[in-house]
Amino acid sequence: MYHAMLSMFHGLIIYMYYHKDKKHQMPHIHVKYEYDEVVLSILEGEILEGEIPQSKINHVRTWITIHKDKLMDNWELVQNGKTLYKIEALE
């Protein structure tokens, strides 16, 4: 299993995993903040797993809303084992 970083801002690292010979069902991102990690759906911004401070979740949800099309493009790439591209940070 490999991962690719998509963006980094406000102490958050956002990435997607590549799974060899395995496809994920729901489009999602992984977010690390300090020692914690959360998984959020791209389409709804719903927390699927994990926990980070609510203020940080709010930043990520804003970022998802701004970059949803780019995130879905990257989701398609990762599902096909192709190289992802970086997405601008939240200012």
| 36 domain-assigned | yes
| 57 domain-assigned | yes
> Residue for token digits 């959020």?
40
| 66 domain-assigned | yes
| 89 domain-assigned | no
Q: What is the pLDDT of residue 91?
A: 87
Q: What is the domain extent for residue 70?
A: 2-79
- Domain total for the chain? 1
**Rounded to the nearest 5°, which phi and psi values hold at 29?**
-125, 160
Q: Are 37 and 56 in contact (CB under 8 A)?
A: no
91 residues of the chain, pLDDT tens digit each: 678 999 999 999 999 987 666 666 789 999 999 999 999 999 999 999 999 999 999 999 999 999 999 999 999 998 888 889 999 999 8
Q: What is the pLDDT of residue 88?
A: 97
